[in-house]
A and B are shown apart, each in its own frame.
Chain A
Amino acid sequence: MKKDLEQDMAQDSVRGEVTLGRMLREARERKGLTPAELAGRINLDARLVESLERDAYEGLPDAVFLRGYLRRWAPMLELDESRLLAALDRAEGPKRSERASARNVLPGTPVQMDRPRRSLPWGWLLLILALPAGYFASTYLPESGLLERFLPGQESITPVSGEPRLLPLPPPPSLGDPPPPLTPPLAEPMPPVESNATSPAQSAPLVSSAEAPVARLPALESPAEPEQDSVAPGAVVLRTSGAESWVEVTDGTGKRLVYDTLKAGAEKRVEGKPPYDIFLGNASAVEIMYEGKTVDTRSHRRASGTARLSLGK
């Protein structure tokens, strides 16, 4: 009997017509069972068997359950388990994908509030690229002065301890420049740049414009021109040791020659028209040489550690 059934179904499958429902119904009828009896053998409801036999999968349990039922029925009905499961897969295939897509648009689907963390490897890649860039920036930018050029406001923050007069942002260039008509196009776009004398990008346009203020030029040269080794008369050399210090130097014409923080161990030479008005933010860290002699700043120091003095009067 089993053989007949198998042959029958094999023929059906060749024609591509055999369905799970038909397999079940034929096998059940051959065994002389009612749907209720077949379902009752594994404590199920008869309706489930009926809808399976009709190939109506709406409202039936998940595939995992159906497969479990079929595996139990297969020996009872003397059917091949793998054939039953394969038939179920064929029938379930379209149904399952329908159900999955339905679930995706279900209004109750939880909406993820957190940002997905899938992009982690890309984050690392970016970080790996950013590391050399950061190294370049920290190594070359402070030296070249590019950083200050892009962040002009920062320099007024460091030095001002106890000296409220310096707190306001750098004054507009026209205030400090006695010959304002000489520098109309250049002074406007780069107001606070006076201290950045070493920036090559900046010095180029200044020099090329030829009519730039004479007072500015000495400030431009300092470390870039090593041939001026001997201390020229009237030059002031500022040397910091141990700690950094804010330094401001104005010459006799009222021109500001230095307006900057000197790093520890730095040396700066300025030339201008005496007398010089010098303000040091951290006086104990700065040594001043004027006309080849060390200037004693101790008598000028204030309680806050700053010092203001005049040279060359």
Chain B
Amino acid sequence: MFKQIRGIFSTDLSIDLGTANTLIYVKGKGIVLDEPSVVAIRNDGGQRTIQAYGTEAKQMLGRTPQNITAVRPMRDGVIADFHVTEKMLQHFIRKVHATHVFRPSPRVLVCVPVGATQVERRAIRESVLGAGARKAYLIDEPMAAAMGAGINVDEARGSMVVDIGGGTSEVGVISLDGIVYSASVRIGGDKFDEAIMAYVRRNYGMLIGEATAERIKKEIGCAYPSKELLEIEVRGRNLSEGVPRSFTLNSNEILEALQEPLFGIVQAVRNALEQTPPELGADIADRGIVLTGGSSLLRDLDRLLMEETGLPVLVAEDPLTCVARGGGKVLDLIDERGSRLFALE
């Protein structure tokens, strides 16, 4: 009852609760929050308090003293730490409603990976409700991504969306407001970072942190050989000497390092094409595969998929926010067309 009254003073939100970043889209305002899904927890003699959220906490990753731990409550696209995720969501939802006098109680739509189990979905739903939402909807990420990319999902034509996020990559074939085929592999930006860290340790005998690996990936990472050779100078700890040293990496090395996770994504797309009904497959071959998600910004990833599948592949505009924006479109349509569409739960 009180939630409903508070709901009058709240705005509906669409949340892309991602492994790497949490994005919040507000009806009529667009993306209002884009922060890393990181929480810094201070532990003072058994008493845990939250020190920082989002960007501030991310800067602490790997740089914390003993009594503070910077954690990422989401792993592989699902909740790894239920309690911390709830607190983080609560903080973000309040932050979005900062100007309101009343405690907000919005309707919240959360995009979940198609591979999430019922238990994981329930955990996400409970977290959102625990964070003060008056109603929680869950939608599969490929559907939200397709809508956010601007594909007309209500047509009787097949469209394939590949959403490559921080923790998972989702492949979905969509037609007539529904998901025809979907699959999720737990490969994403995080796996790219891990692969780079492992490569550097193996070939250079150097240890680098997650943040450095991410910087390398963003600056010189690529998925397909190109004529242009990029270089970056990084610092890490030399394993044999035990002291920090600086060294230079080039884009071909990173391409080599990323082979394994990239192969996983290519394989997922191939499997999807194999499983897609032929009529829809023809539509996809006609128009192409759309890439969304932050990791689709990896240089030449579309080129790699294009060469591997022989189909047109294109990156959506503003791929990072596609899922959250798509969720926002669904929220608008819920009022119009009811909540049973779009594979909502």
Give the interface of A toward B (CB within 8 A): 42-45, 61-65, 67-69, 71-72, 103, 110, 112-114, 116-118, 120-121, 124
Known: A68-B315, A112-B338. A45 touches B286 (CB 8 A): yes
Cβ–Cβ contact B314 & A68, under 8 A? yes
Per-residue interface assignment for chain B, residues 310 to 325, with 1 indicating a CB less than 8 Å from any chain A CB and 0 otherwise: 1111111100000000
Cβ–Cβ contact B311 & A61, under 8 A? no
Cβ–Cβ contact B306 & A64, under 8 A? no
Inter-chain contacts of B314 with A (CB < 8 A): 42, 65, 68-69, 71-72
Inter-chain contacts of B338 with A (CB < 8 A): 112-114
Known: A42-B312, A64-B150, A72-B314. A117 touches B288 (CB 8 A): no
**B29 at interface by CB-CB < 8 Å:** no
Known: A42-B306, A69-B312. A61 touches B287 (CB 8 A): yes
Distance A61 CA – B338 CA, assembled complex (angstroms): 28
Distance A61 CA – B211 CA, assembled complex (angstroms): 40
Cβ–Cβ contact B286 & A61, under 8 A? yes
Known: A62-B150, A112-B336. A68 touches B311 (CB 8 A): no
**B279 at interface by CB-CB < 8 Å:** no
Distance A103 CA – B152 CA, assembled complex (angstroms): 11
A-B contacts at CB below 8 angstroms, number: 64
Nearest-CB residue, chain B, relative to A61: B287
Cβ–Cβ contact B152 & A62, under 8 A? yes
Cβ–Cβ contact A43 & B317, under 8 A? no
Cβ–Cβ contact B150 & A118, under 8 A? no
Inter-chain contacts of A67 with B (CB < 8 A): 317
Nearest-CB residue, chain B, relative to A117: B335
Inter-chain contacts of A121 with B (CB < 8 A): 8
**B337 at interface by CB-CB < 8 Å:** yes
Cβ–Cβ contact B286 & A64, under 8 A? no
Cβ–Cβ contact A65 & B288, under 8 A? yes
Nearest-CB residue, chain B, relative to A65: B287
Per-residue interface assignment for chain B, residues 124 to 162, with 1 indicating a CB less than 8 Å from any chain A CB and 0 otherwise: 000000000000000000000000011110100000000
Distance A303 CA – B299 CA, assembled complex (angstroms): 94
Inter-chain contacts of B337 with A (CB < 8 A): 110, 112
Inter-chain contacts of B287 with A (CB < 8 A): 61-62, 65
Distance A42 CA – B309 CA, assembled complex (angstroms): 11
| The residue from A44, A64, A103 contacting B316, defined by CB atoms under 8 A apart | A64
**B32 at interface by CB-CB < 8 Å:** no
Cβ–Cβ contact B316 & A68, under 8 A? yes
Cβ–Cβ contact B317 & A116, under 8 A? no
What is the CB-to-nearest-CB distance from A304 to chain B, in angstroms, rounded to a whole number?
A: 42
- Give the size of the chain B interface in residues (CB under 8 angstroms): 27
Inter-chain contacts of A112 with B (CB < 8 A): 336-338
Nearest-CB residue, chain A, relative to B285: A43
| The residue from B290, B310, B335, B341 contacting A64, defined by CB atoms under 8 A apart | B290
Nearest-CB residue, chain B, relative to A72: B314
Cβ–Cβ contact A124 & B290, under 8 A? no
3 shortest A-B CB distances, which residue pairs? A68-B314, A64-B150, A61-B287
Interface-centre pick from B313, B314, B316, B317 (highest chain A CB count, 10 A): B314
21 contacts between A and B (CB under 8 A): A42-B312, A42-B314, A43-B306, A43-B310, A43-B312, A44-B288, A44-B312, A63-B150, A64-B151, A64-B290, A64-B317, A65-B288, A68-B290, A69-B288, A71-B314, A72-B314, A110-B337, A112-B337, A112-B338, A120-B8, A124-B8
What is the CB-to-nearest-CB distance from A20 to chain B, in angstroms, rounded to a whole number?
A: 17
What is the CB-to-nearest-CB distance from B175 to chain A, in angstroms, rounded to a whole number?
A: 13
Nearest-CB residue, chain A, relative to B150: A64
| The residue from B5, B151, B317, B341 contacting A62, defined by CB atoms under 8 A apart | B151
What is the CB-to-nearest-CB distance from A18 to chain B, in angstroms, rounded to a whole number?
A: 23
Distance A63 CA – B151 CA, assembled complex (angstroms): 8
Known: A62-B150, A64-B149, A65-B314. A116 touches B336 (CB 8 A): yes
Cβ–Cβ contact B335 & A118, under 8 A? yes
Distance A120 CA – B3 CA, assembled complex (angstroms): 14
Distance A118 CA – B314 CA, assembled complex (angstroms): 37
Inter-chain contacts of B290 with A (CB < 8 A): 64-65, 68
Distance A110 CA – B311 CA, assembled complex (angstroms): 32
Distance A112 CA – B340 CA, assembled complex (angstroms): 11
| The residue from A65, A113, A116 contacting B335, defined by CB atoms under 8 A apart | A116
Distance A120 CA – B154 CA, assembled complex (angstroms): 27
Nearest-CB residue, chain A, relative to B341: A110
Nearest-CB residue, chain B, relative to A124: B8
Inter-chain contacts of B154 with A (CB < 8 A): 103
Distance A69 CA – B341 CA, assembled complex (angstroms): 30
Distance A118 CA – B331 CA, assembled complex (angstroms): 12
What is the CB-to-nearest-CB distance from B290 to chain A, in angstroms, rounded to a whole number?
A: 7
Inter-chain contacts of B306 with A (CB < 8 A): 42-43
What is the CB-to-nearest-CB distance from B328 to chain A, in angstroms, rounded to a whole number?
A: 16
What is the CB-to-nearest-CB distance from A148 to chain B, in angstroms, rounded to a whole number?
A: 32
Inter-chain contacts of A62 with B (CB < 8 A): 150-152, 287
Distance A291 CA – B8 CA, assembled complex (angstroms): 63
Per-residue interface assignment for chain B, residues 267 to 299, with 1 indicating a CB less than 8 Å from any chain A CB and 0 otherwise: 000000000000000000011101000000000
